[in-house]
């Protein structure tokens, strides 16, 4: 099949509606729904993706390096965080770009990304970084929908949204975990899925034994300078009723955003 349109289907509602608009505009022929699996997704993501594919009438093309972010961190000898999101680079962007180069022609294939009108700057950045690619973001075009509208319209189709949205998470990636997340999102993970939080806490503690005083999160308490904030320390702070940054949600932009990746030596 000649590939004309590739939709990066992340498992989120915005990428679903992007795919819906692409198919409404161009039809199903030549459309690929491309999903990069990081092996640490919430189990309900796979249910949602399957229902989405059935509704859209296009099967999902899955790609994966078959390793979790924590397995990647161990192999690289570092803990990823917002300044060094190596999981985003190694498990999302590189596999997606490799598939595109192997299976599409830049001059005749359009890449469609699940970015809405509140994140249009990310579309501009992506186009600057890939000037030879044809890139579109249908949810940046009228009618402009917010996340609430997307969820409501999804239910109107008879598809239940991914459960992480009902828990209050801003995205449906990595099972509620993200190296770019802030203290508020990790507090939500602790409150809604304590067993999952405990698993990540242990993964971080195990790797800290190897790489030293590094962590996913950072803290500015005290002198205002950034310092490591472990998942154990945040949990203990919350359990003790101490304050944490309730406004720090961070931001997930795994497959698209461009940041410098710093390698840190232990």
> 206 Cβ partners below 8 Å, 6+ apart?
none
**Six-digit token string for 47:** 């249910």
Q: What is the CA radius of gyration of the chain?
A: 19
Note the pLDDT of residue 62.
98
Note the pLDDT of residue 253.
58
Note the pLDDT of residue 3.
93
Note the pLDDT of residue 34.
98
Please name which of 205, 161, 213, 195 lies closest in space to residue 44, comparing C-alpha atoms.
161
Apex CA 10: angle with CA 248 and CA 205, to 5°?
A: 50
Mean pLDDT, 10 residues at a time, the chain of 266 residues: 92 97 97 98 98 97 98 97 94 96 90 95 94 95 96 97 96 95 96 98 97 93 85 97 90 54 35
5-165 adopts what CATH topology? Rossmann fold (3.40.50)
Please name which of 105, 108, 88, 84 lies closest in space to residue 96, comparing C-alpha atoms.
88
Note the pLDDT of residue 252.
62
Note the pLDDT of residue 255.
52
**Six-digit token string for 107:** 């001059």
Q: Contact at 8 Å (CB) between 37 and 50? A: no
3-state secondary structure 22-90: HHHHHCCCCEEEEEECCCCCCHHHHHHHHHHHHHHCCCEEEECCCCCHHHHHHHHCCCCECCECHHHHH
Note the pLDDT of residue 257.
52
Note the pLDDT of residue 222.
72
Q: Contact at 8 Å (CB) between 9 and 33? A: yes
**Six-digit token string for 162:** 């991914």
**Six-digit token string for 62:** 């899955």
Q: Contact at 8 Å (CB) between 63 and 38? A: no
Please name which of 184, 118, 111, 107 lies closest in space to residue 148, comparing C-alpha atoms.
118
Q: How far apart are CA 128 and CA 72, in angstroms?
A: 28
């Amino acid at each position: 099949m000649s590939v004309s349109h590739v939709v990066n289907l992340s498992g989120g509602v915005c990428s679903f509606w992007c795919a819906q608009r692409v198919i409404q505009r161009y039809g199903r022929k030549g459309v690929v729904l491309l999903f990069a699996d990081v092996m640490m997704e919430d189990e309900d993501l796979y249910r949602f993706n399957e229902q989405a594919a059935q509704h859209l009438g296009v099967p999902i093309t899955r790609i994966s390096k078959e390793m979790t972010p924590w397995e990647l961190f161990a192999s690289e000898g570092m803990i990823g965080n917002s300044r060094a999101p190596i999981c985003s680079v190694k498990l999302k962007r590189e596999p997606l770009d490799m598939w595109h180069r192997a299976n599409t022609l830049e001059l005749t294939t359009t890449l469609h990304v699940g970015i809405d009108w509140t994140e249009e700057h990310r579309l501009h950045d992506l186009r600057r970084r890939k000037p030879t690619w044809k890139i579109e973001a249908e949810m940046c075009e009228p009618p402009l929908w917010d996340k609430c509208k997307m969820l409501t319209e999804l239910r109107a189709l008879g598809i239940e949204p991914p459960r992480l949205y009902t828990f209050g998470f801003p995205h449906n990636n990595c099972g509620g975990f993200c190296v770019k997340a802030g203290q508020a999102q990790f507090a939500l993970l602790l409150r809604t899925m304590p067993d999952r939080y405990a698993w990540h806490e242990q993964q971080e503690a195990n790797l800290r034994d190897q790489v030293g005083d590094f962590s996913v999160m950072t803290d500015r308490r005290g002198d205002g300078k950034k310092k490591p904030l472990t998942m154990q320390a945040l949990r203990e702070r919350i359990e003790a009723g101490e304050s944490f940054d309730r406004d720090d949600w961070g931001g997930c932009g795994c497959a698209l955003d461009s940041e410098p990746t710093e390698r840190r030596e232990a």
